[in-house]
Amino acid sequence: MMNKIYLHLIVFLCTIPMAMAQVTFKASVSKNQLGLNERLRIEFSIDKQGADDFTPPNFNNFKVLAGPSQSTSFSSVNGRTSYKLTYTYIIQPTVKGTFTIPSASITYDGQTIKTNTIRVTVTNAIAIPKDPDDPRYLASENIHLVTEVSNRNPYVGESISIVYKLYVNTNKVNLQKTREIASPSFNGFWKQNIEVKSWVVKNGEYKGEPHRYVIVKKVVLIPNKAGKLAIDPLEMEITAGVPMGRRDFFGNMLMNDVDFTATTGKSTINVKDIPYQNRPSNFDGAVGDFQFGVTASKTSLNANESARIKVEVSGEGNLKLVTLPKFEAPQGLEIYEPEHDEKITTTLGGLRGKIFDQYAVVPQFRGKYKLPEVSFSYFNPKEEKFHTITSPPIILNALEGKIPTEENNVSTATNKQDVIGNENDIRYIETKTKFRPKTAKEDFYGSNLFYLLLILPLLSIPIGMFIGKKKQQRDSDVVGNKQRKADRLARKYLSAAKKQLGKKEAFYIALEKAMHNYLKAKLRVETSDISQEKIADILTKKQVNQDTVESLIKVLDNCDYARYTPSTDVEMQQEYENAKNVITKIDKQL
């Protein structure tokens, strides 16, 4: 009995590998060599029922266009049955080269089975065979992706535009859907896309035949180097409906939907270098047709008043790449970093608009200041010549302010002097002493200090009476007490500002904050959230006289303005005293 059991076990174990060996799971492709624009069908088939958990391979360097689609076939001939389960993918290569598609896997009877690997070679895109009966050929002959370049021979820095159009012969094919699969690269160019919000269908011609077209993409380019610059193609995957020559029950033409890849092909731009002959020394790469000017917001200034100097270039050209010229301020005129601004629109004609730098200048002394002339050079590609525009000098007249002294103009160079010898520089050692004997220490008892301390308590009585009388008089002085209370309040709020004297920006920030804190405490409103006019209105309603209100507004205005203009320590001290007086007056009147 035991022998039979062992025999059955041995037979069962031997039949397992035989059964597994009969399972076939393989991969196959429609072709092993294809062009970059072609598609590949790959199938994974197993000939036994009961398999599950199918895992496809990683399709590196390929994109999956369709799949997996699953199909099953079953047949029985003369008592012999066959079964086949197939997973199908449609893939397309993304790059050229020779690649190995890894194995797929599936589970059968608890075991994981893998397919064979597939080796595929991808070559350059190939032309679709000219077969009038091939729907793909008919679609490719009636749908075209076109690149239109405004200028293929520009200068460096000259704007050009590229428009990508999709032409369709709607009499022969129908466009179903599109998908961009490869975008062009613009190496060697500055690029600005123009948004195409929607496709607008227009009538046109392609190679003399009527077509309808849409604009797919618009780009403005500015080459930044000379030579032949290549632009990679734009590629789109097109699904088109090609008539089959038959109609359905309702009389509608039956269509055969086909997919193919449309490409613009590479474009070459021959960029010319800007000529060196007659090139101005201050030329900095501006190419186009420009106007240039330097203007001042005002030429007559009052004390502590600033003017704005605008350096502006306007017109049409490579405005985004233009560097504005600088100007040097004369001695005694303080100049701040400029504020840069651009107002540029991008069209197929190029960049158009203006750019400018705006400087704030503040005279430090009374007098006239001459801003020197400023030059700007550019190259006009249409005229093929250089232009230089020079702005006239600007005279600023500071009517008020400190008068410049000789010390402001004298250099701090050290004057060299000869060394003069002096016999008094060397002193001799004294040979005679001047010591005196020390007197005996005087006894405290009976000394002047002893008698002074003895009568001091008697003197304190009338002094205390005098101080008490003065205090009584001071307490009865209501007006004087209000004045002293207001002074203490002003010092309290202005203590932080006083610590910042000598530090311009920190001082005026602290001073303005102190004024708002005082008003907030007195008026019980958030003064930082309301205007100065509103603050003045509240104080007026509380019977604060108009002169005091105007003094307060002036202090607030000075705090805001003085942070951006030069201020001396004397001016800051004066502003501090003004704020202190304003707080004292307001507190007394409230």
Give me the pLDDT at residue 250, please.
61
Decide: 154 and 207 in contact? Cβ < 8 Å. Answer: no
Give me the pLDDT at residue 348, please.
87
The CB-side HSE value for 532 (13 A sphere, CA atoms) comes to: 14
pTM attached to this predicted model: 0.52
Any idea where the domains of the chain sit in the sequence?
A: 2-123, 135-271, 293-398, 484-589
Give me the pLDDT at residue 77, please.
67
Using one digit for the tens of pLDDT, what is the confidence trace for 577-587? Answer: 887 788 888 77
| One-letter-per-residue 3-state SS of 361-408 | EEECCCEEEEECCEEEEEEECCCCEEEEEEECCEEEEECCCCCCCHHH
135-271 belongs to CATH 2.60.40: yes
Identify the residue whose tokens are 């607030």. 556
484-589 belongs to CATH 1.20.120: yes
Residue 392: partners with Cβ closer than 8 Å, 6 or more residues away: 373
Please count the other Cβ atoms lying within 10 Å of the Cβ belonging to residue 259.
18
Rounded CA-CA distance 368/307 in Å is 13
Helix, coil or strand: residue 519: helix
* Lateral strand order in the sheet of 80-93: 25-29, 40-46, 80-93, 62-77
Q: Where are the alpha helices (DSSP H) in 106-260?
A: 135-142
Instruction: Give how far Cα 124 sits from Cα of 37, 134, 302, Å.
Output: 8, 21, 76
- Enter the CATH code of domain 293-398: 2.60.40
Using one digit for the tens of pLDDT, what is the confidence trace for 346-368? Answer: 888 889 999 999 988 888 878 88
Give me the pLDDT at residue 17, please.
45
Q: Cis omega (within 30 of 0) on the bond before 154?
A: no
Decide: 424 and 326 in contact? Cβ < 8 Å. Answer: no
Same-fold call for 2-123 versus 293-398:
yes
Helix axes 478-499, 504-523, angle to 10 degrees: 140
Q: Which of 313, 333, 329 is nearest to 372 (CA)?
A: 329
Give me the pLDDT at residue 537, please.
80
Residue 209 backbone class (left: φ over 0; alpha: ψ -120 to 50; beta: rest): beta
Which class is 2-123 in CATH?
A: mainly beta
Residue 417: partners with Cβ closer than 8 Å, 6 or more residues away: none
Residue 436: partners with Cβ closer than 8 Å, 6 or more residues away: none
Decide: 297 and 328 in contact? Cβ < 8 Å. Answer: no
Rounded CA-CA distance 161/259 in Å is 30
Q: Which residues of the chain have pLDDT under 50?
A: 1, 6-8, 11-21, 407, 409-426
